[in-house]
Chain A
Amino acid sequence: MSSSDRGAPTELDEHGRAVMDARDVSRALSRIAHEILERNRGATDLVLLGLPTRGVPLARRIAQRIEAVEGAPVATGSLDVTLYRDDLRRQPTRGVHHTEVPPGGVDGKVVVLVDDVLFSGRTVRAALDALADLGRPAAVRLAVLVDRGHRELPIRADHVGKNLPSALAERVGCRLEETDGRDEVLIG
């Protein structure tokens, strides 16, 4: 799966091997939530922005876990990067997803970008550009459920659910309860 294939990993249905099940996903998200809190020394000025499609429910879940620990709500939103992609001209025009900036904005906040699979890094590059047009955060961090390697840009994640060594030709897909009916990460 190329980094730009952000749709459902349906091709993996027959051949895919599960590398994370629902409990693995849940544990990874709990750990990421704690890591974010530790790194940020609390939930003050924290904004979680999910990258559509699957980063959005992941950001919400991490926010719920942080809220459960800290007892205060965490600003959560979504950041669509379609209009900032570097491969727009290489494919038929794509539809855009919803961008939802929390009411407090991103100026001076610690923004954590959340995505399902980190691969080439091009999506994150686009997200950084999109974020710069929304304001000037104090810091930007990156949390991903799976890091499968093969970066094409100097980008790394701050919080990783699972490092998954993969061959370039392999496909890695993530399913989530909210979008696909169940939680799992597949490779094939």
Chain B
Amino acid sequence: MRKHLLEVDDLTPDDVDTLFATAAEMHDVQRRAVKKLPALRGRTVINLFFEDSTRTRSSFEIAGKWLSADTINITGKGSSASKGESLRDTVLTIAAMGVDALVVRHGASGAARRISEWVDASVINAGDGTHEHPTQALLDAYTLTRRLGELGDRHVVLVGDLTHSRVFRSNVRLLRMLGARVTVVAPPTLMPSGVDAWSARDGFATSWDLDAVLPTADAVMMLRVQRERMTGGFFPTAREYTVGYGLTRDRLALLGDTVPVLHPGPMNRGLEIAADAADAAQSLVLDQVSAGVAVRMSVLYHLLAGETA
């Protein structure tokens, strides 16, 4: 495994196998009375979050703590970044304290890679702009694998705001690496420009018609529609988005009651996903959250536990 995890392409299929096998063992630790493993004792992990996040940040924090690493959170708001310090100075200052890993979320695509060029520590990308969010893709695929078994030839449908979604980019890459068939569905205004060339290269399908795609789905991933996009003219009204692309009660019926439904959160209930779907037995939303801790433990372990190069 490489020193950093900046995007899905940093991983080989073998790496993913190893990460999932370790994650399965870490998952069992969550059910123990003593949720503590000594593997990262004496290592320091800094969560450097320049964008809001609850689940990703707390998930990384818990993952680090359960592995006995010292974990510290630094958020953009209230940090020296808000006093005008440059990103490079902020990062170098933190790195100078002697940290082993930086978990970075930043609004600019490529921020994590840039930071990895400045510091000796391992850098884990926890979301950079509209680029990638590799640990989210890993936990989604891990959750799906636990439910469906091997993903080879399984048909996974991703629905939502693809233009602005880093979760979508990482997920498509990883699902394709694992051999799944992928169809992405979005209204034309939220389909990324140049998606045709990209889908031809990576081998996934695109569609504007959710109802036509759902009957062949083995799993459905709903992506969050950011309410702030409402004013961007991407769709006329929330109601109209729901009618065309929301996972409504009617579409849930179309799907059948065994096809798993995923959502990376936070959910807009009633917009992209109806309460009936979010709370259905086939919804894996909370499984994703608990898998998130296990997968991040696995990532931290594999990046940090061994000898340092």
Contacts and interface: CB of A to CB of B under 8 A. Distances in A.
B78 interface: no
A92 B307 contact: yes
A93 B21 contact: no
A179 to B, nearest CB: 17
Interface string B49-82: 0000000000000000001000000000000000
B21 A83 contact: no
A84 B36 CA distance: 11
A99 B36 contact: no
Majority SS of interface residues in chain B?
loop
B267 interface: no
A8 interface: no
Nearest to B303: A93
Nearest to A97: B25
B201 interface: no
A89 interface: yes
A99 to B, nearest CB: 6
Given A80-B25, A99-B28, A93 B36 contact: no
Contacts of B305: 83, 88-89, 93
A97 B307 CA distance: 19
B34 A133 contact: yes
A89 B37 contact: no
A83 B306 contact: no
A90 B25 contact: no
Bin the interface of chain B by size: 20 to 34
Contacts of A98: 25
Contacts of A11: none
B307 A129 contact: no
Contact of B306 (A80, A88, A133): A88
Contacts of B109: none
A163 B305 CA distance: 35
A41 B37 CA distance: 34
B25 A133 contact: no
Contacts of A89: 305-308
A98 to B, nearest CB: 7
Given A95-B18, A99-B28, A134-B32, A84 B38 contact: yes
5 contacts: A84-B38, A95-B21, A96-B22, A98-B25, A133-B36
Given A93-B302, A134-B34, 14 more contacts: A84-B37, A84-B39, A88-B305, A89-B307, A93-B1, A93-B306, A95-B18, A96-B21, A96-B22, A96-B301, A99-B25, A99-B28, A133-B32, A133-B34
Leading 5 A-B pairs by shortest Cβ distance: A93-B306, A83-B39, A83-B37, A133-B34, A92-B306
